[in-house]
Chains A and B, each alone.
Chain A
């Protein structure tokens, strides 16, 4: 089932990626080729097969509930686009 250009725009909206009309058309064609490839999966009967979510069936580890990190706020914020008094700055969202 091919994707419509409307759907491409909706996905881009969900993914927070800006697309122009020209880009949307080009992406639409490529995505449809890719989904044709992906569609080969549907021919296989997977009734009763347990989904495999990971490379190995690992158990998640537990650790003691203790502080393991020290405060390195300044160092980590030194690479941020905009910071003030230890806060990340973004455009105002509340009037």
Chain B
């Protein structure tokens, strides 16, 4: 059951081979054994999960089940969840029990899924290693001295260690895809606007997008069917007819034009990762896809532009944390101003404070044109690069991250080195394009490598098609870490 696909779990539940309560207990038990070592979950509340599981069992008995009814799902602790503590990995929200549900949580609740717990993450999703959490770093199940990637590292570690069959994440600059790559699981960032941001604690609103994390592309399609959909409470939610993201899974790849950007194979890409990606491209050739060499000339500028735009938006979004309406309030302040200064100095960790300072600076008087406006112009150039590329190809494929998982602490003191982890993932966020990562082999020290797939706007079904066909021909996504020490 721990290795079963969502389709198999759904069938087992429908045929009463297992109840949702039993299934939920199975994963809760595994989580309680492994979480001490991996720190993938911030909050687990078995009673709440089991109550939902019993309700799901009743729904199944009544013949009213949907595909995800009774299936436990781990949620990144960025989605506010009614009655659950929701921390966003921060001391600032260490006492915050949400009075309402995020749209994504509502959708899973309506589908009858079970909330398995809230997963650990970089504080306010700012990081690429899941080390900046106030609740301690997440360990990579493949090697516990390594990071799982971030910021959705709790969710990807939980899937890799089989502590959950499905999970959610959010992706602002790569926070679903980079940890999926480093943890050896599959993850998808949808087209901007496809999944509602309502109740998803804001980092950089023009980039933030929620998405699913699971073992396979087929599972991702099933999860995306539930997560995607219009929501009037998110002003950038896209109004579109509902799609079944499974509809193209079985389509043959013959004739599919796969663009390979030369800029993503140059300096900075580790040789072991490059080798695994080359092998994956050869596999796609074998499946009948047609390789096309493309260029994304401005993609090297994506990291600099991102580190203006994302901190600028974050500095504005995080101004709400002032110790007045919710969350942490410092003690022993002299007056109102002092209360703000102390609350924000004590409540935010070092990386969050750093990004707020960057954002405040680039938006401050006299610097707006040089930084913020310049970054927005570069954002346009990057989006235009993609538009040109998609005239020549249907999907773009390359490495998700430049290296395999690095050691815990290795880059913590050097922000710039940490930021460069997201060099291949950030362009899709800036352009608003859908992108995903799937396991495609192993590199140095037997650590997983991720294949990055970027599609045109709203082409999730086509991307999932490619990923599923690749996963039918390979078994990288079925590999699991051998030695998770409880």
- Residue numbers of A with Cβ under 8 A of B are 3, 7-8, 11-12, 14-19, 27, 30-31, 33-42, 44, 46, 49-56, 58, 60-61, 63, 72, 75-76, 78-82, 88, 90-93
* Chain A: CB-nearest residue to B351: A30
Asked whether B357 lies within 8 Å of A11 as measured between CB atoms, the reply is yes
Given A11-B357, A55-B192, A93-B335, A18–B377 Cβ distance below 8 Å?
no
The B259-274 residues at the A interface (CB cut-off 8 A) are none
Shortest CB distance A39–B (Å)? 7
Asked whether B378 lies within 8 Å of A53 as measured between CB atoms, the reply is no
Shortest CB distance A62–B (Å)? 11
B contact patch SS: helix
Q: What B residues does A19 contact at CB under 8 A?
A: 345
Q: What A residues does B419 contact at CB under 8 A?
A: 34, 37
Asked whether A91 lies within 8 Å of B335 as measured between CB atoms, the reply is yes
The B305-359 residues at the A interface (CB cut-off 8 A) are 305, 307-308, 315, 319, 322-329, 333-337, 339-342, 344-345, 348, 353-354, 356-358
Given A16-B322, A18-B345, A46–B97 Cβ distance below 8 Å?
no
Asked whether A38 lies within 8 Å of B206 as measured between CB atoms, the reply is no
User: Considering the complex of A and B, which 9 residue pairs feature the smallest CB-CB distances, nearest first?
Assistant: A55-B432, A55-B192, A51-B376, A18-B345, A18-B341, A46-B377, A81-B329, A52-B380, A49-B377
Given A11-B357, A31-B357, A88-B325, 12 more pairs with CB closer than 8 A: A7-B361, A15-B315, A31-B354, A34-B415, A46-B377, A52-B383, A63-B232, A72-B99, A75-B99, A81-B329, A88-B324, A91-B335
**Cα distance A49–B232 in the bound complex, in angstroms:** 32
Could you show 9 A-B contacts with beta carbons less than 8 Å apart?
A15-B344, A16-B340, A17-B341, A30-B415, A54-B192, A55-B206, A55-B430, A79-B96, A90-B336
Q: What A residues does B98 contact at CB under 8 A?
A: 79
Q: What B residues does A72 contact at CB under 8 A?
A: 99
Given A30-B354, A37-B307, A52–B376 Cβ distance below 8 Å?
yes
Q: Pick from B68-76, B220-228, B296-304 the stretch touching chain A.
A: B296-304
* Chain A: CB-nearest residue to B309: A53
**Cα distance A18–B343 in the bound complex, in angstroms:** 9
Asked whether B364 lies within 8 Å of A14 as measured between CB atoms, the reply is yes
Shortest CB distance B367–A (Å)? 10
Q: What B residues does A75 contact at CB under 8 A?
A: 99
Q: What A residues does B238 contact at CB under 8 A?
A: 56, 58
Q: What A residues does B339 contact at CB under 8 A?
A: 90-91
* Chain B: CB-nearest residue to A20: B345
**Cα distance A92–B333 in the bound complex, in angstroms:** 12
Asked whether A91 lies within 8 Å of B381 as measured between CB atoms, the reply is no
Given A16-B322, A51-B373, A58-B193, A38–B357 Cβ distance below 8 Å?
no
The B419-438 residues at the A interface (CB cut-off 8 A) are 419, 429-432
Asked whether A17 lies within 8 Å of B99 as measured between CB atoms, the reply is no
**Cα distance A14–B315 in the bound complex, in angstroms:** 10
Asked whether B377 lies within 8 Å of A55 as measured between CB atoms, the reply is no
**Cα distance A60–B354 in the bound complex, in angstroms:** 32
**Cα distance A42–B358 in the bound complex, in angstroms:** 17
Chain B 76-102 per-residue mask, 1 if CB under 8 angstroms from chain A, else 0: 000000000000000000011111000
Check: B236 CB closer than 8 A to any chain A CB: yes
Q: Name the one of A11, A18, A27, A93 contacting B364, with C-beta atoms under 8 angstroms.
A: A11
Asked whether B342 lies within 8 Å of A41 as measured between CB atoms, the reply is no
Asked whether B336 lies within 8 Å of A51 as measured between CB atoms, the reply is no
A contact patch SS: loop
Asked whether B301 lies within 8 Å of A44 as measured between CB atoms, the reply is yes
Check: B202 CB closer than 8 A to any chain A CB: no
Q: What B residues does A81 contact at CB under 8 A?
A: 323-324, 326-329
Q: What A residues does B360 contact at CB under 8 A?
A: 11, 14-15
Q: What A residues does B348 contact at CB under 8 A?
A: 17
Q: What A residues does B99 contact at CB under 8 A?
A: 72, 75-76, 78-79
Asked whether A80 lies within 8 Å of B326 as measured between CB atoms, the reply is yes
Q: What B residues does A50 contact at CB under 8 A?
A: 377, 380
Shortest CB distance A9–B (Å)? 10
* Chain A: CB-nearest residue to B341: A18
Q: What B residues does A31 contact at CB under 8 A?
A: 354, 357-358, 361
Q: What A residues does B304 contact at CB under 8 A?
A: 37-41
Q: What B residues does A93 contact at CB under 8 A?
A: 335-336
* Chain B: CB-nearest residue to A10: B364
**Cα distance A33–B419 in the bound complex, in angstroms:** 11
**Cα distance A71–B322 in the bound complex, in angstroms:** 23
* Chain A: CB-nearest residue to B328: A81
Asked whether A58 lies within 8 Å of B329 as measured between CB atoms, the reply is no
Asked whether B301 lies within 8 Å of A79 as measured between CB atoms, the reply is no
Check: B374 CB closer than 8 A to any chain A CB: yes
* Chain B: CB-nearest residue to A68: B232
Shortest CB distance B122–A (Å)? 17
Q: What B residues does A7 contact at CB under 8 A?
A: 361
Given A39-B304, A61-B235, A55–B429 Cβ distance below 8 Å?
yes
